[in-house]
């Protein structure tokens, strides 16, 4: 069976995990966490990055740091993972879903402004498949209406928009290092803070409401409980695993990109013949090969393709069921405007196996069977 995903492993993860164990420091904010934070800051030109226990908790932190009040509204796409939405709900917000663009499956920037009310506080964008949203337009709207922008860049680590790393463009950026993402620590994530004025509040929030981070820097002589907070520090064991991957970040990226490009090339004739649609990478966007999907004619054809591939020992999957149609989505939010593409396009989309280390033989197998399904 060719799996849909295999968690990334470069080979020296255990060496670093052992170093963490031998250092007798396995709780949060030890040497490996600091190294990962610094690497991400330097590589992406970020002002401040803090590892978290998941992409979801990075989103939770971002939304809490936006200072929402009950009744405030957050604009977001409906075509996303539940984490994007639930972080806003946890912070007390009402959800206002906006349609996606069919070419990138990202929030349609031309439909955001109509969804803004006097309660709107935040625009949450999701860089789907590691392909950037139209950030210039979105930042301009946010500036004119005094809104914050949170980037769900869970899938966008190592991607960029007009030369800027995803996650570093809005007020906050959120990465995921879940086992299904390009770089992993099992469960984990990171919060990118782009306004230095938020650094201290973020550290307090992450450290159970204490100013412990300041204490360790020698800025206060004892630490104390100063505000509400939670614990968002990942274990050093997880950070050590991630550190191994970051040192091989380019190798992982190149490997995924080779598969992505091979799929793109192999299926171009199907697209030219009008049988499928392929991912679109807008100008100015550099993506990270997080995902390769094709869009079938409709739901029926997609179901048949997934079944066909399974019969040939290939696992292809779909997602997301639009959030506004889910029980919690109906309870906490509303869809603004018309759902022209969210539902229709989500029903056509199928994701093919793509992971670090996918062999050329397996890749060729996937290509052969997809082409065969379409009689090519
Ligand atoms: C994976 C993902 C998340 C959640 O990340 P976790 O690390 O699994 O909590 C959030 N948003 C999007 C778009 C994702 O793909």
Any idea what the CATH number is for the domain that residue 360 is in? 3.90.1150.10
Pull the structure tokens for residue 281.
Answer: 């990478």
| pLDDT at res. 88 | 97
Whole-number Å distance, alpha carbon 8 to ligand 1 midpoint, is 16
The verdict on residue 208 lying in a domain is: yes
Give the separation between CA 349 and CA 303, rounded to whole angstroms.
10
The verdict on residue 3 lying in a domain is: no
| pLDDT at res. 221 | 87
145 & 258 share domain: no
Point out the domain boundary residue: 231, 246, 261.
246
Residues with CB under 6 A from ligand 1: 54-56, 80-81, 83-84, 126, 152, 154-155, 176, 178, 189
Portion of the chain with pLDDT greater than 70, in percent: 100
272 & 189 share domain: no
Whole-number Å distance, alpha carbon 180 to ligand 1 midpoint, is 9
Please name the residue whose Cα sits nearest to atom 14 of ligand 1.
154
219 & 138 share domain: yes
Question: Residue 222 sits in which domain range?
Answer: 13-246
Please pick, among 35, 94, 148, 181, the residue that the annotation labels catalytic.
181
179 & 308 share domain: no
Whole-number Å distance, alpha carbon 55 to ligand 1 midpoint, is 5
Q: How many CA atoms lie within 13 A of 190 on its CB side?
A: 35
User: What's the total number of domains in the chain?
Assistant: 2
Pull the structure tokens for residue 152.
Answer: 């769900």
159 & 279 share domain: no
CATH number at residue 124: 3.40.640.10
Active-site residue, 310 included: no
Give the separation between CA 192 and CA 190, rounded to whole angstroms.
6
Q: Which of 20-24, 60-64, 223-227, 238-242 has the lowest mean pLDDT?
A: 223-227
Computed over every residue of the chain, the mean pLDDT equals 97
pLDDT band at 157 (very low <50, low <70, confident <90, very high): very high
Point out the domain boundary residue: 190, 219, 246.
246
286 & 338 share domain: yes
The verdict on residue 79 lying in a domain is: yes
* pLDDT for 128 beyond 90: yes
The verdict on residue 8 lying in a domain is: no
* pLDDT for 131 beyond 90: yes
| pLDDT at res. 325 | 97
Element (H, E) at 151: strand 148-152
> Over the stretch 271-312, which tens digit does the pLDDT of each residue have?
999 999 999 999 999 999 999 999 999 999 999 999 999 999
The verdict on residue 201 lying in a domain is: yes
The verdict on residue 343 lying in a domain is: yes
């Amino acid at each position: 069976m060719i799996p849909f995903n295999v968690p990334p492993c470069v080979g020296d993860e255990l060496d670093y995990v052992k170093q963490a164990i031998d250092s007798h420091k396995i709780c949060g904010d030890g040497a490996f966490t600091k190294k990962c934070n610094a690497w991400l800051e330097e590589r992406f030109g970020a002002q401040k990055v803090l590892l978290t226990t998941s992409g979801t908790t990075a989103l939770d932190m971002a939304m809490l740091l936006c200072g929402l009040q009950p009744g405030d509204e957050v604009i977001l796409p409906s075509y996303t993972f539940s984490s994007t939405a639930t972080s806003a709900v946890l912070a007390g917000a009402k959800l206002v879903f906006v349609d996606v663009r069919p070419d990138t499956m990202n929030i349609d920037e031309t439909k955001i402004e109509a969804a803004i009310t006097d309660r709107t506080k935040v625009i949450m964008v999701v860089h789907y498949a590691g392909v950037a949203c139209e950030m210039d337009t979105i930042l301009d709207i946010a500036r004119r209406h005094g809104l914050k922008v949170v980037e769900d860049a869970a899938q966008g680590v190592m991607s960029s928009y007009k030369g800027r790393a995803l996650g570093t463009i809005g007020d906050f950026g959120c990465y995921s290092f879940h086992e299904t993402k390009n770089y992993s620590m099992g469960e984990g994530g990171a919060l990118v803070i782009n306004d230095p004025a938020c650094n201290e509040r973020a550290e307090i929030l992450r450290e159970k409401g204490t100013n412990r981070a300041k204490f360790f820097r020698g800025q206060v002589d004892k630490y104390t409980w100063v505000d509400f907070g939670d614990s968002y520090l990942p274990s050093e064991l997880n950070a050590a695993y991630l550190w191994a991957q970051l040192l091989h970040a380019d190798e992982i990226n190149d490997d995924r990109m080779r598969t992505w490009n091979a799929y793109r090339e192999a299926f171009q004739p199907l697209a030219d013949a009008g049988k499928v649609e392929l991912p679109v990478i807008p100008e100015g966007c550099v993506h990270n090969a997080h995902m390769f999907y094709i869009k079938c004619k409709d739901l029926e054809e997609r179901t048949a393709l997934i079944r066909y591939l399974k019969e040939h020992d290939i696992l292809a999957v779909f997602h997301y069921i639009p959030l506004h149609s889910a029980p919690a989505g109906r309870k906490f939010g509303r869809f603004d405007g018309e759902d022209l593409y969210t539902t229709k396009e989500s029903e056509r989309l199928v994701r093919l196996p793509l992971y670090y280390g996918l062999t050329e033989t397996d890749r060729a197998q996937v290509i052969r069977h997809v082409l065969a399904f379409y009689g090519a």
